[in-house]
Amino acid sequence: MQQKDAAGESFQFVVGDDESGARLDRFLAERPELIAAHLSRSRIKALIEEGRVTLRGAAISDPAKKLSSGDAVALDVPPPAPAEPQAEDIALDIVYEDEHLIVIDKPAGLVVHPASGHESGTLVNALIAHCGDSLSGVGGVKKPGIVHRIDKDTTGLLVVAKTDAAHHRLSALFADHGRTLSLTREYLAFVWGVPDRAHGTIETFLGRHSIQRERMAVVPESRGREAITHWEKVADYGVASLIRCQLETGRTHQIRVHLAHIGHPLVGDATYGAGFKTKVTKLPEEAREAVEKLGRQALHAATLGFEHPVTAEEMMFESELPEDLSVLMAAFEKI
């Protein structure tokens, strides 16, 4: 049954005795009315930070604010903003498209949506040109249709919503991260060194680095969000290896931070693997040249599977390694 969109509506709640001490964002994310209106916890967090929530009549912008019994909480959900970025003629590698969604194989160097320092030349600009008015506005002015992201220099698959209904349902899938709903996200990662096990799971909490704010870091639970990555060793090259990663959560830089955390940072990752630069100089010439020409982290979103938000058909997409990573693999295989 089609459910009503919350855009342009206001909601009021009172904190119960058994909810005292709950975080504001978690309290709102658990309200049946907001669940029915397809408001994810990440969307609710953004609304809080935008000043759309009042607590005891005063605006509050801290999603982690602790609540007390009897607190009155009000949430104002604005109508979806139109996509303001300009259409740009940027080539897209379209893997699949219908009237509800579009699956893109993103190249390295393409930023997903406009942000500080990247106001144009993004995937969003290309999508506006390609889709015209048929692009979900739920993501807001800067992120129309964007359900999930991959880093600028990570290649591979991502899905974009073309309608609001598809956006709501895809967002629910990605918020669930395949725990109870149908979603598969697998990455191929070339890392330094060789893990001493065939597979494993990394479970930590991730948050902003205390000093270098552009970086993420493993932090105490009180400062971060749960992050879970399952990994499997695919190939052993001696000095490096190929790892397949499956995400159970989707935090910023999650794979990059997690693999560095266990001592196997991504090849080419200047942010989280800078301490491994000397390894490059010790490689055979062909492998050294492949790494030096790479100029990015060796990470590729290779598999994306999900239940179609409208037809309920099981969709599964595979992306072959791009040329630069194929060259890197061939060079490592000769070591």
* AA letter at 74: A
CA 328 to chain centre: 25
For residues 272-304, one letter each, b for 16 or more C-beta atoms within 10 angstroms of the residue's C-beta and e for the rest, the string is bbeebeebbeebeeebeebbeebebbbbbbbbb
Is residue 149 within 8 Å of 112, Cβ to Cβ?
yes
Among candidate residues 274, 302, 291, the one with its CA nearest the CA of residue 331? 291
Per DSSP (E only), the strands in 107-254 are 155-161, 183-192, 199-208, 216-218, 225-236, 240-247
Q: CA 275, CA 192: separation in Å to the nearest integer?
A: 11
What the block records as the tokens of 297 is 């982290």
Q: Which of 25, 71, 105, 151 is catalytic?
A: 151
3-state class (DSSP) for residue 103: strand
- Is the CB of residue 183 less than 8 Å from the CB of residue 177? yes
E-assigned strands of the chain?
10-14, 53-55, 58-60, 72-76, 94-97, 101-106, 155-161, 183-192, 199-208, 216-218, 225-236, 240-247, 299-307, 314-318
Whether 151 sits among the annotated catalytic residues: the reply is: yes
Which residues have a Cβ under 8 Å from the Cβ of 133 and sit 6 or more positions away? none
Q: Supply the residues annotated as catalytic.
A: 151
